[in-house]
Amino acid sequence: MKLLEAVSLNKRYSAERGWFTHKAKSVQAVNNLSLSLEAGESLGLVGESGCGKSTLARILLGLEKPSSGRVLYRSTDYTDWSHSKMRMIRSNMQMVFQNSLASFNPLFTVEQIIGEPLRNYGAGKAENLREVVADTLDLVGLEQRHIRRYPHELSGGQQQRVGIARAIALRPELIVCDEPFSSLDVTLRKQMMDLLQELKHGLGLSYVFITHDLSVVSRLCDSVAVMYQGGIVEKQSGVHIMQQGSHPYTRTLLSSVPVQDPRLRKKV
């Protein structure tokens, strides 16, 4: 069953007139892009800065409208849905941000942050809400004593865990993670990758994981789509992309992945 489908998506931003040319410039952020995600699948979306990854994520989440093309959730076309109508499926699609701290209300405790989507979507009564927040803290590996803390009283890794907890509080089917671990050190990044895998298997979660780093998604995701200039140039299983990635841009990305043993380095 296809959970999510994007069909021939285009997104063009028109910009102000250029200072020198006096011509209206525009940017084709997403260019005739199609993709699909099965229920339970994890898809890595990898590409250089500015290739349109975040724009695509916003379109998939219904936060932005494409210039043309369609987006479908479980075969329901939601491309033209209003913000209020999106609420019907929004509880099933949540997002984890690159910088969770910036997305938190600094006056909210961890409990309030994780409980916010539950309150917004009227999911359960107050006592039940406390229970769900406590369970969610457990799921992301945070101790209960953190529940009364404020965001600035947490480490970077703990903040990202709270960001993930908020995204899974409603037990969505899909989360879109936009560079969620890029500010973390290698050890924490590994812990977070393990956490996402646990949640995928434990909750049957599907996710789209956006990053610059091919080595991260090749280990983490069932399939990897390589994005270049607004389009997908290649899609392969996470296992195969490192060995069989054949598009010239994929090969450029592969050449920048550090390999511990130089004898194993693939010629690109």
Ligand X SMILES: Nc1ncnc2c1ncn2[C@@H]1O[C@H](COP(=O)(O)OP(=O)(O)OP(=O)(O)O)[C@@H](O)[C@H]1O
* Smallest distance, ligand X to C-beta of residue 158, A: 24
How far is Cα 181 from Cα 100, in angstroms, rounded to an integer?
10
- Residue 158 or residue 211: which is nearer to ligand X going by CB? 211
CB of 76 to ligand X, least distance (A): 25
Does residue 233 bind ligand X (CB under 6 A)?
A: no
- Residue from 5, 10, 12, 27 in contact with ligand X (CB under 6 A): 27
Residue 54 or 100: the one with the smaller Cβ distance to ligand X is 54
Find the DSSP H helices in the chain. Answer: 53-60, 83-90, 100-103, 110-120, 126-139, 156-168, 186-203, 214-220, 238-244, 248-255
Per rule CB under 6 A, is residue 208 in the interface with ligand X? no
Distance between alpha carbon 78 and the CA centroid of its chain, in Å?
19
Classify 249 in phi/psi space as left (phi over 0), alpha (psi -120 to 50) or beta.
alpha
Q: What gap in Å lies between CA 17 and CA 134, rounded to an integer?
A: 52
SS (H, E, C) 73-116: ECCEECCCCCHHHHHHHHCCEEEECCCHHHHCCCCCCHHHHHHH
- The residue among 30 and 118 lying less far from ligand X, judged by its C-beta, is 30
Residue closer to ligand X (CB basis): 13 or 121: 13
CA separation for the pair 125, 118 (Å, rounded)? 9
Q: Please give the DSSP secondary-structure letter assigned to residue 262.
A: G
Beta-bridge mates of residue 227: 232
Shortest distance, position 49 Cβ to ligand X, whole Å: 3
CB of 170 to ligand X, least distance (A): 25
For residue 226, state whether it binds ligand X (rule: CB under 6 A).
no
Residue 257 carries which DSSP code?
S
Rule CB under 6 A: choose which of 13, 17, 34, 120 binds ligand X: 13
- Considering beta carbons, is residue 53 or 200 the nearer one to ligand X? 53
Name the residue nearer to ligand X (CB basis): 165 or 227: 227
CB of 215 to ligand X, least distance (A): 16
Q: 17: number of CA atoms within 13 Å, CB side?
A: 5
Instruction: Show contacts with ligand X in window 39-68 (CB under 6 A).
Output: 47, 49-55
Give me the least distance between CB of 134 and ligand X, in Å please.
34
Nearer of residues 54 and 94 to ligand X, judged by Cβ: 54
Q: Residues interacting with ligand X, by CB under 6 A?
A: 13, 15, 27, 29, 47, 49-55
